Amino acid sequence: MTARKDLLVPPGRPARVARRRGHSLTSQDRRLGHALVAPVMIVLLAITAYPLFYNIWNSFHYADYLNAATFSSFAGFSNYSMLFHADQFVPALVRTLGFTAVSVAVETAVGLGIALALNRPFRGRGVVRAAVFIPLAVPTVVSAELWKTMFDPQSGFVNYILAHLHLPLASTAWLDGTWTAWAAILAADAWRNTPFMAIVLLAGLQVIPQDIYEAAKIDGASAGQAFRRLTLPLLMPALMVALIFRTLSSFLIFDVVFIMTGGGPGTSTQVLSALNYEAFLDDFNFGYGGAIAVAMVVMALIIAAIYVRVLRVERQT
């Protein structure tokens, strides 16, 4: 692509580029690229450099305010090994991963369905669009409290509806049992975040020109085949971004769980972020808290890398 770029310059126009070494079109291109990407990099680096450094440094040192004697001394990996001995981290990790997998799967499936539905023109589409995206307007904290009320066993709406429709589980004390508590948390999370998936996937669907579907129909493809062979591959970039960021948010989930169950019953809904919170706020141990944070980031990056690897490969085939 770069080799014959000079052909783009029509004859008669003065050459815009000198062809001295270091000033070819490629390096000009690169300079432009650097200049354009610099603002984002500078903003992100300037603000997050210190927090990143702070947490990483803390995780390798003793930073327990309740133990001034060892404060600031080098700790090697002992904060990290505490993660595996403390008997809270691994269960919380398993729970968080499990919840992330389920919530992302559910929200992606439903979000994709909504996006596909909203992609076709129909009467009243504007109203439906607005209605479906309303949950995004409600702050997370408010929505969590709201759903907690909805799941109240006596006066909550969920049991009320279940009883009226004569469905089972109508007298469950939702937040009292492990699996039912997770179901409640999932409902609250999905309500708030499915519109996010829908919005991103809808934008992704907009790239796809409609006439390829016409061509596919003429060729006799069914709707399912058209979806798998045409829509999905073309949607992949948007899908990948949506998946990465939704997974990230799910992995970091905190408010919803804290408000609805406080980690209960017992510790059965305790998520990783809650451990982080406890380390900072109750234990005053910033070394351990830093280690938890770094561990969470590393895991999140691994998950993101997996997505990129798998989905890029999919795209190429």
Partner 1 sequence: MHMWPARSSLRTVAAIAAGGLVAVGLAACSSLSSSASSQVPLSAKQTIAFASAGLGTEGTATKAAIAGFEELHPNITVSLLSLSSNATVAEEQEEHYFIAGSSTPDVMFTDVIWPSAFARSGWIANLDSFKPSTSEFFPAQMVTGEYNGSVYAIPWFINAEGIYYNTSIIKTPPTTEAQLVSDAQHALATDKSLKEGLAFEGAEYEGSVTAWQSFGANIGLSSLSNIDNPANAAALTFMYDAIHTYKISPPAVTGWEEANVQAAWLSGQTPFALNWPYLFQLSQSTANGKPVYPAVYNSTAWMPFPSSTPQSSLGGQDLAINAKSTHKAAAWAFIQYLTSVSAQDARAITAGDPPSVTAAYNATLYSAAPYYKDETAVYKVLTPRPVTPVYPDISSSVFQPMISSVLSGQESPSAALSSNAATVTQTLATVK
Partner 2 sequence: MSATDAVAARSRADVRPRRHLRPGRAARKTGFFLLLALFVLVSLFPFYWIVITSLKTTAEYNQGTTSVLPPSHVTMSNYVDDLTQQNFIRALLNSVGVSLATTILTVLLAALAGYALSRTSIRGKGGILGFILLTAFFPPLAIVGPMFIAYKHIGLLNTLPGLVICYLVLTLPLATWLLTNYFLQIPKELEEAAIVDGSTRVQALHKVIVPVARPAMFTVAILSFILAWNDFTFAVSFISTPNNYTAPLAIYNLGNSQYQVFYNLIDAAVVIISLPVACLVIFAQKRVISGLTAGSFR
Kindly identify the residues of this chain, within the stretch 54-83, that bind partner 2 according to CB under 8 A: 54-55
3-state DSSP call for residue 166?
Answer: coil
Q: How far is CA 232 from CA 205, 211, 228, in A?
A: 9, 16, 5
| Closer Cβ to partner 2, 110 or 178, answer by number | 110
3-state DSSP call for residue 10?
Answer: coil
Name which position in 18, 38, 142, 207 contacts partner 1 (CB under 8 A): 38
- State which of positions 94-123 bind partner 1 (CB under 8 A): none
Name which position in 1, 35, 69, 218 contacts partner 1 (CB under 8 A): 35
Q: Which of the listed partners (partner 1, partner 2, none) does 210 bind, with a CB threshold of 5 to 8 Å by partner kind? A: partner 2
Q: Which of the listed partners (partner 2, partner 1, none) does 68 bind, with a CB threshold of 5 to 8 Å by partner kind? A: partner 1
Q: Which stretch binds partner 1 (CB under 8 A): 116-124, 130-138, 205-213, 273-281?
A: 273-281
Burial of 133 (0-12, 13-18, 19+ CB in 10 A): middle
* Contact flag: residue 245 with partner 1 (CB under 8 A): no
Which of 148, 143, 269 shows the shortest CA–CA distance to 195?
143
3-state DSSP call for residue 286?
Answer: helix
Count of C-beta atoms within a 10 Å radius of residue 264: 15
Query: Per-residue contact track with partner 1, 40 to 79, x per CB under 8 A?
Result: -xx--xxx-xx--x-----------xxxx-----------
CA dist., res. 177 & res. 192, Å (int): 23
- State which of positions 148-207 bind partner 2 (CB under 8 A): 149-150, 152, 155-157, 160, 191, 195-196, 199-200, 202-204, 206-207
Count of C-beta atoms within a 10 Å radius of residue 27: 12
* Contact flag: residue 146 with partner 1 (CB under 8 A): no
- Residue 173 CA to its chain's centroid (Å): 30
CA dist., res. 276 & res. 279, Å (int): 5
Residue 89 beta carbon to partner 2: minimum distance, rounded to whole angstroms: 14
Looking at residue 19, what DSSP letter applies? -
Interacting residues toward partner 1 by CB under 8 A: 21-22, 24, 26-27, 30-31, 34-35, 38, 41-42, 45-47, 49-50, 53, 65-68, 88, 148, 152-155, 173, 175-177, 260-268, 270, 278, 280-284, 286
